Amino acid sequence: MGEIKRMDLEYSQLDSDRMRINVGPQHPSTHGVLRLEVEVDGEIVTEVVPHLGYLHRSFEKHCEKLNYQQIIPFIDRMDYISAMNNEWPYVMALEKMLDIKVPEKVEYIRVIVAELNRIANHQIAVATFGMDAGAFTPFLYYFRDREAIISILERLSGARLLYNYFRVGGMAADIYPGFKDDCLNVVKQVRKTNAEIMKLLIHNSIFIKRSANVGILTPEVAINYACSGPVLRGSGVAHDLRRDEPYSVYDRFDFEIPVGKGDVGVVGDCWNRNIVRVHEMEQSCRIIEQALAQMPETGDVKAMIPKRIKLPKGEVYMRTENPKGDLGFYIVSNGTDKPERMKARGTSFVNLSVIPEISKGYMFADLILILGSIDIVLGEVDR
């Protein structure tokens, strides 16, 4: 601890007092109520200690007192930016236990809403990352586009952020007329804005100076810390559950897994973690287009929803590719309509744990960028 990596020896031999600064829980760029206790030597970060728990709501304990259907809205509140994706592994786990074959149309609706939500999540991630670097305008461009996605999801589920749209065996409601056109318009707009952001932000030389070669996460460290999602892919590891463990109908789509290639900076730095998200938006657009084309016109989305859910005794673990990484739910059932134990593998929590490892020896301003590039949501970290 306290070892300075990047500065030369002469500097570290100077006997200077170190200062401890609290970043958060009320700080403009902690992405929630995260508190980082930072020790700085001038501007150089020598130690980072994340303190969690400011948003702890006893999610897992709560679940033990709730029916299986009642848990779904709680799951929305974990990673509240990508609530659609959160619900998916949970309902899939239950469907696996109950041995329910979900109608074809439901699978396609799930893919589309999840990918739409993934785009919305990545938009916020890239936008706030830009804002951490001081660029405010891309933030509003992305929020303008996200509004269209939110509107679609609102028309589907009735809610703008916490959807409660998935049901065990089906969906809460069918798609509305004109859904396909709305989706295609969103896809078009996302591509247009991304092309603009590429010029305005991603390849801006100041932005490259700020984010390239900063917070380098080597593939080995990423795997050791069990990082997943764009954080892992930014380090060059092509791991994506949608392809590696195809669930639902993902094996029917043609898409690529973007990884950090190090065209700018080195593989695993903030810039590469960020660019992965931009490329993933494009891949999500491709999936949405294919899913819209393949989706069956007819089908009852509520046909397979059981009246009462009573799981057989046993346990199940199901994980899917959340926008932030692998999200898994481990459910232990005792044969009643409430889980005996419920454990969520929160992606943000796992990804956040790598912060002390990769932010030592960089400048204080870099720490904020590293935190932004990890893309955490405190609802999921604290649960």
Site for another protein contains 16 (CB under 8 A)? no
Q: Is 126 in the site for another protein (CB under 8 A)?
A: no
| String marking each residue 256-295 x if it binds another protein according to CB under 8 A | ----------------------------------------
Binding of another protein by 364 (CB under 8 A): yes
Site mask for another protein (CB under 8 A), range 192-221, x = bound: --------xx--x-xx-xx-----------
SS3 string, the chain, reads CCCCCCCCHHHHHCCCCCEEEEECCCCCCCCCCCEEEEEEECCEEEEEEEECCCCCCCHHHHHCCCCHHHHHHHHHCCCHHHHHHHHHHHHHHHHHHHCCCCCHHHHHHHHHHHHHHHHHHHHHHHHHHHHHCCCCHHHHHHHHHHHHHHHHHHHHHCCCCCCCCEECCEECCCCCCCHHHHHHHHHHHHHHHHHHHHHHHHCCHHHHHHHCCCCCCCHHHHHHCCCCCHHHHHCCCCCCHHHHCCCCCHHHCCCCCCCCCCCCCCCCCHHHHHHHHHHHHHHHHHHHHHHHHHCCCCCCCCCCCCCCCCCCCEEEEEEEEECCEEEEEEEEECCCCCEEEEEEECHHHHHHCCHHHHCCCCEHHHHHHHHHHHCCCHHHHHC
Q: Are 234 and 260 in contact (CB under 8 A)?
A: yes
63 vs 369, which CB is nearer to another protein? 369
Residue among 27, 155, 180, 243 that touches another protein (CB under 8 A):
27
Q: Give whichever of 40 and 221 is closer to another protein, judged by the CB atom.
A: 40
| Dist CA 119 CA 136 (whole Å) | 19
Give the interface segment with another protein, choosing from 78-86, 127-135, 179-187, 245-253 (CB under 8 A).
127-135
Pick one of 221, 226, 304, 365: the residue that binds another protein (CB under 8 A). Answer: 365
Q: How far is the CB of 369 from another protein (least distance, A)?
A: 8
CB of 57 to another protein, least distance (A): 27
CB under 8 A: which stretch of 19-27, 65-73, 165-173, 272-280 binds another protein?
19-27
Candidates 87, 132, 375, 382; binder of another protein (CB under 8 A) is: 132
Question: Applying CB under 8 A, what is the total number of residues that bind another protein?
Answer: 30
140 forms part of the interface with another protein (CB under 8 A): yes
Q: Does 69 bind another protein (CB under 8 A)?
A: no
Q: Which of 51, 56, 57, 144 binds another protein (CB under 8 A)?
A: 144
Closest distance of CB 359 from another protein, Å:
13
Q: Name the residue nearer to another protein (CB basis): 191 or 310.
A: 191
**Is residue 130 at the binding interface for another protein, with CB under 8 A as the rule?**
yes
Contact set with another protein (CB under 8 A): 19, 21, 27-29, 43, 130-137, 140-141, 144, 200-201, 204, 206-207, 209-210, 363-368
